Chain A
Amino acid sequence: MTKKPDCIELTHGSGGLATDRLISDLFMAAFDNPELARRNDGAVIDRVDGRIVVSTDGHVVTPLFFPGGDIGQLAVHGTVNDVAVMGAEPLSLTAGFIIEEGFEVALLEKIVRSMGAASRAAGVPVVAGDTKVVERGKADGVFITTTGIGWLKDGIDLSCEQARPGDAVLVSGTVGDHGLTILAAREGLDLGPELKSDSAALHAMTKRLTEAVPGLKVMRDATRGGLAAVLHEIAEASGVGMLITEAAVPVSDAVKGAGELLGLDPFHVANEGKLVAVCPAEQAEAALQALRADSRGSQAAIIGTVTDDADRFIEIETPFGGRRLLTRPEGDPLPRIC
């Protein structure tokens, strides 16, 4: 018997025996499901009664492990959520791994196990996958691309361009948790146990919300660029403005503190388990109750209204009664100079 290597080598991606062993030892064990076990070139999905939603997302994060999660579970939650906020029920995932030569097998194992656990917890199996190994320096540790498919019940039609003046804007909980956790970790700052990623699958919440709010118009998960980017995208697509009450947007004390320290706005950094919803004002209360009924939505809030604004500005009412524009995040947020 050959000794199990400590590091990923180029041969692990060559499709030969080493690939085979890596796949059966690690991936099959972690993702354990009948469709994957058949080891065909593709997976067969059962007939569904409705339209199909498909979404794909590449996951690249430094550090790979952070308070509240790791790249593995992020790759599951991110894509499950992309499908879920379309109003669809996620059915299955595929995963593509790009691994840098020399990456520690023990770490890969940890990541893949965490991914398996997240997929099982969400009830969304990884039914097909691919692994490639690239030369040292051609990738940063491991990149994971996941694709998710889901089915969409007739009658549900959510889309960014449907916000209309007077509609209510809601968020499903505190914002900025994931982004500030990652940036604090990158700066080597330990800001206590309360600062952690909010990485979570939201399909139970989105189901509840679509059922409770027949007039629901938009759902978006507020990932890259945070709350600000999503609000701008909705306003832009719908040709409307928004007025957001700053004090109504939930932000945890830990995130506020980290934001101050790093000079970053919690509204501008990523979330991995929060959604933004737009619905007619008269259904806002029902939407709020539906969000709060979910274990991930206890801090959900109505944060503002859609306005008639040809400039498509997002205005913030500050706690002092002043107004300012909500800026659109530009590029990657960087901590301030001094």
Chain B
Amino acid sequence: MNGKILSDGFRNPRHAEALVAAIHEEADSGRHYRIMEFCGGHTHAIARNGLADLLPDPVKLVHGPGCPVCVLPVGRLIMAMELAQREEVILTSYGDMLRVPAGPGRSLTRARAEGADVRMVYSPLDALEMARANPHRQVVFLAIGFETTAPATAAVVKRARAEGIKNFSVLCNHVVTVTAMTAVLDGEDGRRIDGLIGPGHVSCVIGADAFAGVARHYQRPIVISGFEPLDMLDTVLRAVRRLNAGEAGVENAYGRALDGAGNKQAQALMAEVFALRESFEWRGLGTVAASGYRLADDFAAFDAESRFELQYRVVPEPKSCECPSVLRGAKEPEDCVLFGKACTPEQPVGACMVSSEGACAAAYLFRRDARRLSA
């Protein structure tokens, strides 16, 4: 991408001023506009650009559960740790995942320091390559993420089968955006959410239309947004307007990248390689029916859970960590007693402090007011 286009187009401060003025004009001080940004990328962009400060009092942005690293419960991470302990296994995952605490003093990074063969990869393709290069080892890819990263995992599993690679498998933790959104809105705290900012990248895969049912059933506006500051301000303006007009429904504010139907090829790939689990546990949302993917029966040979006979157990979250409430939008990071004290990006206690998409990390890194409150 060309830096010039960015600075002149999506980041032009003059356009931002006009949008901010319009939001102020539109927002009615007699009511509230609690708008959840579902996606962690948005949480990051809001904090990174200081956007929350620019909004009028009645408009409040609330963090959502859309941070892939954050929502993986400790129990699933423990499965990965068990795998990493095995002599024959090379456990691979994305960098952030390796740093997530799996209990006091435990993480995959720590396991590596203690001798486990844990390696960071940038994509599942790297893990497959590692399997080819190490035919006498078992390479497992710890797969996480919403429909943004899921198609890449699916493609690699398919390729592994086509090439007959026997020493590669996936510990699959891919999750379903739309189901998570309904779980948030169904919950106690969901009632207080007036509208949503829909995830731009996920929508490019599943299509904007995928949110129509949620918008209708819960009678909320869902405005799908890009990640540039201007995208986000434009999205907030549209959400406020819809709330004023009492209009539920899906609106695409990310038109340049998105259409209603999404990426058919990626959807077909996911449909072929994955099957819905009966239920999946989320940090913050609890156990949610049909909210996670496993490998489909045709690809069961590449499923690390069956290959290594892993059992999932529910493991309690770290004590006093408010990640579950933060992920539901019920609490702000600075409401957690550990924030900025026992829990910092260098020494995270909860998952939300690890990933740059995590609400706690974003608050700690970028928000002076949050840091002040915790001091």
User: Pick the contact of B13 from A319, A327, A334 — CB < 8 Å?
Assistant: A319
Q: Check A324 against B229 for contact (C-beta < 8 Å).
A: no
Chain B contacts of A335 at CB under 8 A?
122
Q: Check B49 against A325 for contact (C-beta < 8 Å).
A: no
Q: Check B229 against A320 for contact (C-beta < 8 Å).
A: yes
User: From residue 242 to 261 of chain A, which have CB atoms closer than 8 A to chain B?
Assistant: 247, 251-257, 259-261
Q: Check B3 against A320 for contact (C-beta < 8 Å).
A: no
User: Pick the contact of B368 from A253, A313, A334 — CB < 8 Å?
Assistant: A313
User: From residue 281 to 320 of chain A, which have CB atoms closer than 8 A to chain B?
Assistant: 311, 313, 315-316, 318-320
CB distance from A110 to the nearest CB of B (A): 31
User: Pick the contact of B366 from A252, A253, A325 — CB < 8 Å?
Assistant: A325
User: Pick the contact of A325 from B13, B122, B368 — CB < 8 Å?
Assistant: B368
Q: Which residue, A313, A318, A324, has most C-beta atoms of chain B within 10 A? A: A324
Chain A contacts of B212 at CB under 8 A?
none
User: Pick the contact of A323 from B11, B53, B95 — CB < 8 Å?
Assistant: B53
User: Contacts A324-B49, A324-B367; is A330 near B122 (CB within 8 Å)?
Assistant: no
User: Pick the contact of A337 from B6, B47, B51, B95 — CB < 8 Å?
Assistant: B95
Q: Is A338 interfacial (CB-CB < 8 Å)?
A: yes
User: Pick the contact of B54 from A256, A315, A320 — CB < 8 Å?
Assistant: A320
Chain A contacts of B11 at CB under 8 A?
319
Smallest CB gap from B201: residue in A? A338
Q: Is A321 interfacial (CB-CB < 8 Å)?
A: yes
User: Pick the contact of A322 from B53, B122, B145, B345 — CB < 8 Å?
Assistant: B53
Chain B 1-20 interface 0/1 with A at a Cβ cutoff of 8 Å (1 = within): 11110110001010011001
Bound CA span A311–B375, Å: 9
Q: Is B92 interfacial (CB-CB < 8 Å)?
A: no
Chain A contacts of B17 at CB under 8 A?
320-321
Chain A contacts of B123 at CB under 8 A?
337-338
User: Pick the contact of B48 from A253, A259, A311, A324 — CB < 8 Å?
Assistant: A324
Q: Check A257 against B50 for contact (C-beta < 8 Å).
A: no
CB distance from B61 to the nearest CB of A (A): 12
User: From residue 24 to 54 of chain B, which have CB atoms closer than 8 A to chain A?
Assistant: 47-54
> Mostly helix, strand, loop or mixed at chain B's interface?
helix
Bound CA span A251–B6, Å: 13
Q: Check B96 against A337 for contact (C-beta < 8 Å).
A: yes
Q: Is B185 interfacial (CB-CB < 8 Å)?
A: no
Q: Is B365 interfacial (CB-CB < 8 Å)?
A: yes
Q: Is B112 interfacial (CB-CB < 8 Å)?
A: no
User: Pick the contact of B3 from A260, A325, A338 — CB < 8 Å?
Assistant: A260
User: Pick the contact of A311 from B20, B145, B201, B372 — CB < 8 Å?
Assistant: B372
Q: Check B94 against A337 for contact (C-beta < 8 Å).
A: yes
Chain A contacts of B2 at CB under 8 A?
253, 257
Smallest CB gap from B4: residue in A? A253
Q: Check B50 against A322 for contact (C-beta < 8 Å).
A: yes
Q: Is B166 interfacial (CB-CB < 8 Å)?
A: no
User: Pick the contact of A254 from B3, B20, B50, B229 — CB < 8 Å?
Assistant: B3
CB distance from B56 to the nearest CB of A (A): 14
CB distance from A149 to the nearest CB of B (A): 36
Q: Check A327 against B371 for contact (C-beta < 8 Å).
A: no
Q: Which residue, A253, A330, A334, has most C-beta atoms of chain B within 10 A? A: A253
CB distance from B43 to the nearest CB of A (A): 13
User: Contacts A319-B11, A338-B148; is A325 near B372 (CB within 8 Å)?
Assistant: no
Chain A contacts of B95 at CB under 8 A?
334, 337
Chain B contacts of A320 at CB under 8 A?
13, 16-17, 20, 49-51, 54, 229, 233
User: Contacts A313-B371, A319-B13, A320-B13; is A327 near B366 (CB within 8 Å)?
Assistant: yes
User: Contacts A251-B3, A320-B20, A338-B149; is A315 near B13 (CB within 8 Å)?
Assistant: no
| Interface residues, chain A, with chain B CB atoms under 8 Å away | 247, 251-257, 259-261, 311, 313, 315-316, 318-325, 327, 330, 334-335, 337-338
Top 3 closest pairs, chain A to chain B, by CB: A322-B50, A256-B3, A253-B3
| Interface residues, chain B, with chain A CB atoms under 8 Å away | 1-4, 6-7, 11, 13, 16-17, 20, 47-54, 94-96, 122-123, 145, 148-149, 152, 201, 229, 233, 345-346, 365-368, 371-372, 375
Contact sample, A vs B, 10 pairs, CB 8 Å cutoff: A253-B3, A257-B2, A318-B229, A320-B50, A320-B54, A320-B229, A323-B368, A324-B368, A325-B365, A325-B366
Given contact pairs A255-B3, A324-B48, A338-B201, enumerate 16 new A-B contacts (beta carbons under 8 Å). A252-B3, A256-B7, A257-B3, A311-B371, A311-B372, A313-B368, A320-B16, A320-B233, A322-B49, A324-B47, A324-B366, A324-B367, A327-B365, A327-B366, A334-B95, A337-B95
